[in-house]
Amino acid sequence: MTYAVCRVLTAINFQCNTALTQILFHGSNLATLHEKLSPSILPQEFGGDCGPMSNDAIVSVLQMNEQLFKGVLHDTDQLMNKVTDAVPRLS
């Protein structure tokens, strides 16, 4: 999964290493999550006060833009291939 995230972030002009250091994984430790985000803005599933979570809207938007995302990944692959071909091989 990290590779896919890295590819997408690279495709939208983020510096991958910098962006990935900003992503925090809390697992099931809600105390550390609540240190970063107030429970007042979190859904019930994350110990918040905003009621149950629904991802129906984002799923719908992602599905409507599936071809766009596939194009971005394809373009990124093409660019990475060109870069890889241009870099001298270490023997």
pLDDT band at 35 (very low <50, low <70, confident <90, very high): very high
What residue segments make up the domains of the chain, in order of their start? 2-86
pLDDT beyond 80 at 82? no
42's CB contacts (< 8 A; 6+ apart) are 33, 34, 48, 49, 50
Q: Supply the pLDDT for residue 89.
A: 58
Using an 8 Å Cβ cutoff, are 34 and 26 in contact?
A: no
**26 contacts 33 by C-beta, under 8 angstroms:** yes
Question: Looking at residues 26-38, what average pLDDT do you find?
Answer: 89
Most confident residue range from 20-29, 41-50, 82-91? 41-50
High-pLDDT (> 70) share of the chain, %: 67
